[in-house]
Amino acid sequence: MTERTGGQDPVLEVKSLTKTFSNGNGAEASEILQGVNFTMYPREFVCILGPSGCGKTTFLRCIGGFESFEGEVLVDGKQVSAPGVDRIMVFQDFNQLLPWKSVEKNVQYPLRIQGIKDRRELQSISDQYLKKVELYPYRKFYPHQLSGGMKQRVAIAKALAMRPRIILMDEPFASLDAISRNKLQAELLQIHQREDITVIFITHNIQEAICLGTRILVMSKQGDIKMDVPNRLQKPVTPASEGYGQMWDMFNRALNEATDAPSEETISSGERHTK
């Protein structure tokens, strides 16, 4: 369960969130999320595990305001039901950047939409956040000149520059090779430790969840939260860290139960369990 520290008020409250999709032709609607309740505090890094089709992405999209739903989503105590700059999403797709704009202009573009017009201010902000993701030397490059990992780092810089209350990340590293994924995990962990950011991060990879999360949820096929566990392992976490093997086993068992006991290989492609 979540732990309230320092008398902080929650940054996010989800109350009885239910989401159904119509099957058309008068068929009975499918209930994807079933009365989900969830509370999150500032600077938490919450990772969400769960089998495919359990509603992880739908849950994130409801929080982001991209889906209609029953129930309530509150940010800083205020009910929200539409997208807003207080919740920014980073997607898995490499093509979330505008291809006709340079790296720095991609970071600056949403700031312009929000009303910042001064060129020196825009330049200062984009420089600041591109340096945080180690892409300042590539600020004049265009998306087609970047690797997949570099594109995701631009997307993260763009999200950080908006200074949202919550960053919503939908498997942002899933399509990367193992070396690039590990590098971006380390960079994101450092950014979270340095910056005042709150993150919800969807992944299928148990190791990724344990390495990044301060708290880990497991969702079931029934569209609810099966497990909510604080992660007290000292960062940075590796498979050799004390307690890592026990946590991996616990989440592996939970996912096996949630997916009707598939083989371990289906839990996370390419992931190895090292005790």
Query: What phi and psi values does residue 200 have, to the nearest 5 degrees?
Result: -115, 125
209 and 203 in contact (C-beta within 8 Å)?
yes
pTM over 0.85, yes/no = yes
88 and 63 in contact (C-beta within 8 Å)?
no
**Which tokens is 150 given?**
């570099």
Q: Is 195 or 7 the better-scoring residue by pLDDT?
A: 195
The amino acid that residue 163 corresponds to is R
For the chain, what is the largest distance between any 2 Cα atoms, rounded to a whole number of angstroms? Answer: 57
Classify 49 as helix, strand or coil.
strand
Average pLDDT over residues 58-76: 95
Q: Give strand pairing partners of 89.
A: 168
**Which tokens is 266 given?**
């289906």
- For residue 259, the model assigns a pLDDT of 74
Q: Give strand pairing partners of 19.
A: 33
- Cα-atom radius of gyration of the chain, to the nearest Å? 19
Share of residues in the chain with pLDDT > 70 (%): 90
Q: What counts of helices (H) and strands (E) characterise the chain?
A: 7, 10
224 and 234 in contact (C-beta within 8 Å)?
no
Query: What phi and psi values does residue 33 have, to the nearest 5 degrees?
Result: -120, 135
Question: Can you list the domains of the chain with their CATH numbers?
Answer: 1-86+164-232+251-270 (3.40.50.300), 97-162 (no CATH)
Summarize pLDDT for 69-114 with one digit per residue, the tens: 999 999 999 999 899 999 999 988 878 899 999 999 999 999 999 9
**236: cis peptide before it, omega within 30°?**
yes
